[in-house]
């Protein structure tokens, strides 16, 4: 089952590239990860890998007791995550909301990804604003955020593989 939004984003990308490059350098379909995913999905996947790297660096800095640097890395990860949500994941979800009525593996993975992702962003914003939701210690909210984000990332990777690679 292929997502409807992939075709729509391809049309928009093709139109954008044709206007930008006036036909001389026009590439019918820009693919840089070697599958049939739209460019925006590939860029989003790369953005999620960068978020993981930022979170890993943040983990290092909190262990090194450099809390200010830790905070900068974590807030950068949150900003990048919201950018991905606004530019790709949100529009893709809106364009494909009808797919949730279908039965099968793909829609179940999508629902899990959306739920874990939304909860992870909710926890991240609260942790960044120093609101402890899980326990009286903020670090437990931060650990819960990392765990829930990790689950959302796993479901996002499975989603990407299911719809664009397999």
pLDDT in tens, 39-96: 888 889 899 999 999 999 999 999 999 999 999 999 999 999 999 999 999 988 898 8
In three-state secondary structure terms, 64 is: coil
Percentage of the chain lying above the pLDDT 70 cut: 80
Domain with 123, as residue range(s), is 4-165
What is the reported pLDDT for 53? 93
3-state secondary structure of 113: helix
The pLDDT, as a whole number, for residue 165 is: 87
At residue 66, φ and ψ (nearest 5 deg) are -105, 75
Mean pLDDT of 126-145: 88
Q: Which of 137, 118, 117 is nearest to 127 (CA)?
A: 137
- pLDDT at residue 28 in the model: 43
Dist CA 53 CA 44 (whole Å): 14
Q: Which two tokens stand for residue 89?
A: 């994941």
pLDDT at 25: 41
**What pTM did the predictor assign?**
0.74
**Average of pLDDT values for 23-33?**
49
Q: Total domain count for the chain?
A: 1
């Amino acid at each position: 089952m292929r997502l409807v939004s992939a075709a729509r984003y391809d049309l928009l990308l093709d139109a954008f590239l044709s206007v930008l490059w006036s036909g001389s350098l026009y590439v019918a379909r820009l693919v840089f990860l070697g599958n049939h995913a739209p460019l925006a999905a590939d860029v989003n996947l790369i953005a999620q890998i960068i978020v993981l790297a930022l979170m890993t660096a943040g983990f290092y800095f909190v262990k090194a007791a450099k809390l200010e640097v830790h905070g900068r890395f974590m807030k950068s990860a949150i900003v990048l995550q919201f950018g991905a949500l606004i530019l790709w994941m949100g529009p893709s979800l809106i364009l494909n909301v009808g797919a949730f009525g279908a039965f099968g593996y793909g829609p179940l993975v999508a629902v899990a990804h959306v739920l874990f992702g939304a909860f992870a962003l909710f926890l991240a914003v609260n942790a960044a604003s120093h609101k402890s939701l899980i326990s009286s210690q903020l670090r437990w909210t931060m650990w819960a955020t990392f765990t829930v984000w990790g689950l959302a990332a796993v479901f996002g990777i499975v989603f990407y593989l299911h719809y664009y690679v397999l």
